[in-house]
Structure 1
């Protein structure tokens, strides 16, 4: 999706911030749920573990969402058919 440069910068900054917070927060919650991977299987907090995995997935999704945007001058590498093969 082609957007203006100002919107592209805003999307990139905030989606990267949300992705980092989500992924790091997810690992922290997962670490707490498993007591630093020291807890027995019966002592693991399933709710916190699922919350941690969900935060990691949401962080990854936020980053993947942000890669869908581009500005008018960026182009799209897979649409550039005018370049020939320079493979020998």
Structure 2
């Protein structure tokens, strides 16, 4: 049982770190794309609506990470019941 618990904890940690890394990369790319548009002077592309869209996109990434963590936790819990 202890080995099973350690393996489940390892799996949760590995999947959570992997998902977190991918989500941070996605957020970084979203912010960089926005910043590039602002720095390049794309006035028509950078406005109040575009910053709100950026915030929505970042929020979606954070929500996706939370979903990933919950899925991994549920899978680990289910694997310990077997």
- TM-score normalised by L of structure 1: 0.48
Partner of 1:44: 45
Contact 1:19 1:63 in 2 (8 A): yes
The whole-number CA distance in structure 2 between the counterparts of 1:25 and 1:55 is 11
Runs of 4+ in structure 1 displaced over 6 angstroms? none
Partner of 2:65: 63
The whole-number CA distance in structure 1 between the counterparts of 2:60 and 2:40 is 22
Partner of 1:22: 26
The structure that has the greater radius of gyration is 1
Query: In 2 relative to 1, CA 67–56 (structure 1 residues): closer, same or farther, beyond 3 Å?
Result: same
Contact 1:22 1:55 in 2 (8 A): no
Q: Any stretches of 5+ residues in structure 1 without a counterpart?
A: 73-88
- TM-score normalised by L of structure 2: 0.51
Offset at 1:56?
A: 3.0
The whole-number CA distance in structure 2 between the counterparts of 1:31 and 1:58 is 19
Q: Any stretches of 5+ residues in structure 2 without a counterpart?
A: 1-6, 78-82
Query: In 2 relative to 1, CA 32–17 (structure 1 residues): closer, same or farther, beyond 3 Å?
Result: same
Structure with greater proportional helix content: 2
The alignment yields a C-alpha RMSD, in angstroms, of 3.5
